Chains A and B, each alone.
Chain A
């Protein structure tokens, strides 16, 4: 099975500053998808951003962008101009494009935003 590793259990950032959350994954496949999900306290998990492995261009959604390094199997999330509402648990996830529909999640990074 594929594994997803988030090596930072906790991170903090000053409001309005930029923070980068790390994610690495292990796979032998060449075609897959990568995701970042946000889970605020006591609220449901929502999709922040996704990346198709066949695309070289890094995905961007407003203040959220990724740095996708396919050869290094790295998929980091950059949050610019951090806001208090960004405080949440962030999960990196992997899904194969060919073999089944299961999502593999990392253990999460808890992000604190300091006013």
Chain B
């Protein structure tokens, strides 16, 4: 059974056109994370939610926003995608902030044309 689901798996958007990526989880975990993974690079944490508390990494561009309307869903909004934002975006969850286990979704590959 899928535990962390990301939709769509592949997304194409135009330069400057807002795009939203979706993540849902069936684990009832308190924490949800968004990572950006560019080709041949390590996954980089953008931000995370602990319940409704939003925690932004210091170097995450303002172009990236997130919403978590309920426990199950978390969205990544890219307000004005640039060519440099093309990447794989990974969603992950953990039961709480102290948990050592993160459960990853399959990722959404974003292409910017």
Interface residues of A (CB under 8 A from B): 4, 9, 33, 35, 37, 42-47, 50, 91, 95, 101-108
Question: Is the pair A102, B45 in contact by a Cβ cutoff of 8 Å?
Answer: yes
Interface residue SS majority, chain B: loop
Question: Is the pair A44, B97 in contact by a Cβ cutoff of 8 Å?
Answer: no
Interface residue SS majority, chain A: strand
C-alpha spacing A54/B42, complex, angstroms? 26
CB of B1 within 8 A of chain A? no
Which stretch from B13-21, B62-70, B74-82, B101-109 is at the chain A interface? Answer: B101-109
CB distance from A34 to the nearest CB of B (A): 10
C-alpha spacing A45/B101, complex, angstroms? 12
- Whether A107 touches B42, Cβ cut-off 8 Å, given contacts A45-B104, A47-B101, A95-B100, is yes
Which residues of B lie under 8 Å from residue A37 when comparing CB positions?
104
Which residues of A lie under 8 Å from residue B97 when comparing CB positions?
101
